[in-house]
Amino acid sequence: MTRPLVIVWLVVAGTIGKLEAQPVNIRVHDPVLIRQDSVYYLFHTGRGIAQWRSPDLRHWERMAPVFAEAPAWTEQVVPGFQQRNHIWAPDILFYRDRYYLFYSVSAFAKNTSAIGVATSRTLDPSDPEYGWVDHGPVVRSIPGRDMWNAIDPNVAFDEQGAPWLAFGSFWLGIKLVRLDSTLLRLAEPQEWYTIAARPRTMTLDEREPGDGAIEAPFIFRKNDFYYLFVSWDYCCRGVRSDYKIVVGRARDIRGPYLDREGRDLRHGGGTLVLQGNDRWPGVGHCAVYTFDGVDYLIFHGYDREDNGRPKLWILPLQWDEDGWPVAHLE
């Protein structure tokens, strides 16, 4: 049986190469990455949460989705969701003795949404302890009640080791809420912050996302700062996508996050990290990781030469003399 060829874009030391890997044509949205032992595991938006593994970030093997069937609770949040089982924007981390996979359940362009979490002792499906246990929703947004959207989760830890959940898309921006020590629910009493937003035309129907296009937060701690990466503008439009990545930083995980010019991300600030070009009109929904002492920017880009299909990008992330992240498509 002949299968189509995977094309993964990887940039190492500034050299862009087209790598031939496992014979499957992957379309990646919202990628996140983790390494267990010597194997890298990639999770992204897809039916049941799509996942892949690689020994070297070059050659990828497709794995079975995390959820063969959507968790039962998702039907209460989005009627009809179980039929498609199309789960968005996961986040993966290792905490204490197991892996935590946060994920988004939502109706498109509505804040009928929730963030759930599942755990597994291992990521290796050949291990007898492998198996994802779903723990249900952590936070939920409801139209008419909330002016925020419970999608695009990212978990980060403060200096004291307390866990925080950043999330959000459009509406009134990116939220940060403290989790309890199990990571399975919000800490009580609840502690909420807005950490980034863009100007929004408030005359629009409050049930609609509006025009403040911001989403996909990712908090990365380096040296004495927390860096908040977010995506501006629009994904999911193929060659018409104009996604881009911006950043701000703060001494406190709760903010305020300021850009290079001192502008607050809560009021539309943001320093550009990466934007598209003629070949890749939109790039975004990023994550940042350190492997073997090298920082990497992980994201998807829309390929104009392949009908706007989203592809995986892995770029080495540099830092300038003032401590700001620098990345280049070329």
- Whole-number pLDDT of residue 133: 98
Q: What is the reported pTM?
A: 0.92
With the C-alpha atoms ordered 96, 166, 320, 314, is the resulting torsion angle positive or negative? positive
Of 25-29, 60-64, 147-151, where does mean pLDDT reach its minimum? 25-29
CB-based contact 128:190 (threshold 8 Å): no
High-pLDDT (> 90) share of the chain, %: 83
Q: Which residues are catalytic?
A: 30, 215
The phi-psi region of residue 13 (left if phi > 0; otherwise alpha if psi is between -120 and 50; otherwise beta) is left
- The pairing of strands 7-12 and 309-316 is parallel
The H or E element that residue 98 is part of is strand 98-106
pLDDT band at 211 (very low <50, low <70, confident <90, very high): confident
Instruction: Quote the CA–CA distance of 203 and 206 in Å, as a whole number.
Output: 8
pLDDT band at 204 (very low <50, low <70, confident <90, very high): low
Domains defined for the chain, CATH in brackets: 7-326 (2.115.10.20)
Mean pLDDT of 35-48: 97
CB-based contact 153:89 (threshold 8 Å): yes
Residues 6+ apart with CB under 8 A from 149: 106, 111, 113, 141, 167, 168, 169, 170, 171, 209
Per the structure block, which two tokens stand in for 154? Answer: 């990212």
- Whole-number pLDDT of residue 177: 98
Of 6-15, 161-170, 199-208, 296-305, where does mean pLDDT reach its minimum? 6-15
Per the structure block, which two tokens stand in for 163? Answer: 């866990």
- Whole-number pLDDT of residue 118: 98
Tens of pLDDT, residues 237-264 = 999 999 999 999 999 999 999 999 999 9
Helical residues (DSSP H) of 65-151, grouped into ranges: 74-77, 81-84
- Whole-number pLDDT of residue 200: 82
pLDDT band at 13 (very low <50, low <70, confident <90, very high): very low
Q: What mean pLDDT is reported for the chain? A: 91
Instruction: Quote the CA–CA distance of 117 and 6 in Å, as a whole number.
Output: 29
Tens of pLDDT, residues 108-163 = 889 999 999 999 999 999 999 999 999 999 999 999 899 999 999 999 999 999 99
- Whole-number pLDDT of residue 203: 54
Residues 6+ apart with CB under 8 A from 83: none
